[in-house]
């Protein structure tokens, strides 16, 4: 099996227009690396210069925010859905 990554509308052009991308399971860091290997540029959009999640990007493993789990070390098993959700601001 694989991990399903939900791609937000704003990043779909980077994924060839796909809403969903399948990658190999592992840590969230490995999932992001797999996503970046298939569709170069994702790591730059999701991670800052220090290799940490950017503040304006929220990532959920199933329904849990990874910031309240183990961050990039969060284990993502077969069949799990990872959702990338850009922060929304406005007034």
Q: pLDDT of 2-58, one tens digit each?
A: 999 999 999 999 999 999 999 999 999 999 999 999 999 999 999 999 999 999 899
pTM for the full predicted model:
0.92
Task: Report the relative pairing of strands 57-61 and 3-6 from DSSP bridges.
Answer: unpaired
Report the CATH superfamily, name and number, of domain 3-86.
Beta-grasp domain (3.10.20.30)
Cα 37 to Cα 12: distance, rounded to the nearest angstrom: 15
**H helix or E strand, kind and range, residue 10:** none
Structural domain spans, the chain: 3-86
Strand partners, 58: 85
């Amino acid at each position: 099996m694989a991990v399903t990554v939900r791609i937000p509308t704003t990043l779909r052009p980077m994924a060839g227009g796909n809403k969903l991308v399948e990658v190999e399971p592992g840590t969230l860091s490995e999932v992001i690396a797999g996503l970046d290997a298939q569709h170069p540029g994702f790591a730059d959009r999701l991670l800052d210069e220090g290799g940490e999640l950017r503040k304006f990007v929220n990532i959920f493993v199933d329904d849990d925010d990874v910031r309240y789990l183990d961050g990039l070390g969060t284990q993502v098993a077969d069949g799990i859905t990872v959702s990338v959700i850009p922060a929304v601001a406005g007034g």
